[in-house]
Each structure stands twice: as structure tokens, then as C-alpha cells.
Amino acid sequence: NGDHGLPVPNYTDENVSAKVVKLIQSYTGVVNKMVWRKF
């Protein structure tokens, strides 16, 4: 399944990690806004 004998390029992992970091940063930003609204 998807094995064509080609090595997986490293940039795909970097893109995934970058997306995860952006997702976490945006998520924490929304949480901070919600928390500060409560106080």
C-alpha cells in the first residue's frame, strides 16, 4: 500500500510538524481568549 520503493522525503515530516505547531499555537490562542473572557 503506497510502497513504490521510494524513500519518503524529509520535507513531508517538516511540513506536518510545522502544521501541528501552528495548530497548537492557534488553539492555545483561542483558549487564552476564552479564559480571559471568563475573568
Write the CA distances from 6 to 2, 3, 9, 19, 35, integer angstroms: 10, 7, 9, 24, 47
Report the distance separating Cα 34 and Cα 10, nearest Å.
37
Question: Grid coordinates in use for 3?
Answer: 510502497
User: What pLDDT, in 10s, does the model give residues 1-14?
Assistant: 556 666 666 667 77
Q: Can you give the chain as a three-state secondary structure string? A: CCCCCCCCCHHHHHHHHHHHHHHHHHHHHHHHHHHHHHC
Give the per-residue pLDDT at 22.
Answer: 92
pTM for the predicted model, two decimal places: 0.47
User: What pLDDT, in 10s, does the model give residues 12-35?
Assistant: 777 888 898 999 999 898 888 888
